[in-house]
Amino acid sequence: MFDRRTRVSDVVREVCHDLAYRPRLRPGGRTAGAPGRAAPAIAVPAIAVLLVGVLAADLVVLSRMPERTPERGGADTVAARRPADRRELARTTQAAAPVSSPVAPPPVAPLTEMRKPHLFVVANRPLSSAVVARAARIKGIRAIERADAAEVTMDNKPVQTLGVDPSTFRAYTPKPTATSDKLWRNVAAGEVAVSFVLGNDGGLELGRTVASGGRALRVGAYATMGMGAIDAVVSRRTARELGIPENNALVVSAPGADSARLRAALLKVLPKGSQVVAINPVFKAAPRKIWPASAFMHPDQVRTALTAAIGKLGRPYVWGAEGPDTFDCSGLVQWAYAQAGVRVPRVTHQQFVSGPQIPLSQAQPGDLLFWRHDPTNPGYVSHVAIYWGDGKMLHAPRTGDVVKLVPVSTRNFAGAVRISPQIAARAG
């Protein structure tokens, strides 16, 4: 039920926020002073910050990525003596058959324990062993995994990528991913593990070889890493070849800790400009049945967004595209609503928390419809469409397809959401 009795400020306070930190690299870029070695981009690499959860919104733009100063000392994982959190997620993992490599990959250690990731840290410079050790001593932190993070170009698509040690990072992933020895051997051998959404919708088929950072990169596995917007994982050796900054990210396991307090404590020991965010924060719907009419889009805004979207029928799907000529599913939503002056988040799982959920039977034109199509991560919201009315929806399906108007499908349906501009602005 929706009416005018609840204040918008009360609605907004109940919204969660999330982060996607994306240092951009020049595709295939290399420095003249370092032949054969990829280097970070230096031409206005933007870091996009998208918030959902208990953390304050922020936006950081770097004018220059610092030069790499690799630090070889210290292990990739820093763990306290307490036992690791062993909660597991049911997932399905697919790995391609490995191919021979001229250089023998390092062996991958067997999985001995599972760790639940809770916070993600990314900085604009390498994080030293001393900084990581200070962070590990913070009360509530059980373990820390070092990683490399950047948005890189794969097959001409922007992909948020982590460089990891397969032997230690695997413990932080969902159980089916963590226990797949073949997957981690493929990653150690120089291949890339990509999300099912990137593989299926983005066209990076399992076993295919794609261009990235001036080298050929084979898609060795489909698997969820359980970390929201991260769509690809490579070994740290491969990350060096792609030019991803080294040691600029941490995955933190802190079961039972208060996220807000832990974030504040971490920021005190991390370099200035570091970001600390919750991994896959869960949106809890407001415990109310009455919403103010002012919390939602005006009918004129709905008409404008629908007119903008229908005007793009036949435009091609392109992974990561935000319009005005090509789109992916969430890019079409964001662009269409922007034409009506409504700011919504960029990615699907954040758009899913941009207003209250409603029964599909109550959907009205302009509401958003969501699906969970990823078999490697059944709980992840991976696709979005705009409800047109009369049982039809507008959406950008996948690579090789176009924006179209089709009947609503209920297979793997996740829910319907009525956009609240105030909540959407805070969520993105």
Convert the pLDDT of each residue in 303-330 to its tens digit.
Answer: 999 999 999 999 999 988 899 999 999 9
299 in the same domain as 270: no
Instruction: Count up the domains in the chain and report the number.
Output: 2
> Which of 57 and 127 is assigned the larger pLDDT?
127
Tokens 């397969």 map to which residue?
166
Residue 50 has pLDDT above 80, yes or no: no
The CATH number that applies at residue 329 is 3.90.1720.10
β-strands 275-278, 249-253 pairing: unpaired
| pLDDT higher at 77 or 248 | 248
Tens-digit pLDDT profile for residues 10-32: 333 333 333 333 333 333 333 33
Tell whether 69 is covered by a domain.
Answer: yes
pLDDT surpassing 80 at residue 178: yes
What pLDDT, on the 0 to 100 scale, is given for residue 13? Answer: 34
- Mean per-residue pLDDT, 126-141: 95
- Give the containing element (helix H, strand E) for 95: strand 94-95
Q: Is residue 76 included in any domain, yes or no?
A: yes
Residue 197 gets which letter from DSSP?
H
Do 272 and 212 fall into the same domain? yes
**Are residues 261 and 355 part of one domain?**
no
Percent of the chain with pLDDT over 90: 52
pLDDT grade, residue 342 (50/70/90)?
very high
Residues 318 and 187 grouped into a single domain: no
pLDDT at 289: 62
346 closest CA partner among 357, 359, 337: 337
Same domain, 238 and 108: yes
Say yes or no: 297 and 274 in one domain.
no
Mean pLDDT of all residues in 91-103: 50
Strands ordered across the beta sheet of 383-389: 357-358, 413-417, 368-371, 383-389, 392-395, 404-407
- Quick one: 410 and 374 in the same domain? yes
Position 396 pLDDT exceeds 80? yes
Residues 80, 187 within the same domain: yes
30-44, 97-111, 121-135: which has the highest mean pLDDT?
121-135
Task: Please report which confidence band the pLDDT of residue 223 belongs to, taking 50, 70 and 90 as the band edges.
Answer: confident
Within a domain: 44: yes
Q: What pLDDT sits at residue 83?
A: 30
Per-chain mean pLDDT for the chain: 77
Question: Do 150 and 23 meet the contact criterion of CB atoms below 8 Å apart?
Answer: yes
Q: How confident is the model at residue 241 (pLDDT cuts 50, 70, 90)?
A: very high
* Arithmetic mean of pLDDT, 205-217: 88
- The pLDDT of 232-256, averaged and rounded, is 94
Q: Quick one: pLDDT band at residue 147, thresholds 50, 70, 90? A: very high
* Boundary-marking domain end, from 236, 253, 278: 278
Give a yes or no: residue 376 inside a domain: yes
- Domain range enclosing 107: 17-278
- In tens, the pLDDT along 266-294 reads 999 999 999 998 876 544 545 556 778 88
Is residue 79 in some structural domain?
yes
* 199 dihedral zone (left: phi>0; alpha: psi -120 to 50; beta): alpha
Looking at this protein, which amino acid is placed at residue 101? Answer: S
Contact 71, 128 (CB under 8 A): yes
- Specify if 288 maps to a domain: no
Range 201-221 average pLDDT: 89
Which of 213, 191, 157 lies closest to 30 in space, CA to CA?
213
pLDDT of residue 97: 52
β-strand 119-122 against 275-278: which pairing, if any?
antiparallel
295 vs 67, more confident: 295
Do 384 and 413 share a domain, yes or no? yes
164 falls within a domain? yes
Query: For 33-39, what is the mean pLDDT?
Result: 37
**Which of residues 252, 278, 304 is at a domain's end?**
278
Considering the domain architecture, whether residues 88 and 45 belong to the same structural domain is answered as: yes
Verify that 319 and 231 share a domain, yes or no. Answer: no
Q: Tell me, yes or no, whether 219 and 242 share the same domain.
A: yes
Q: Is 236 inside any structural domain?
A: yes
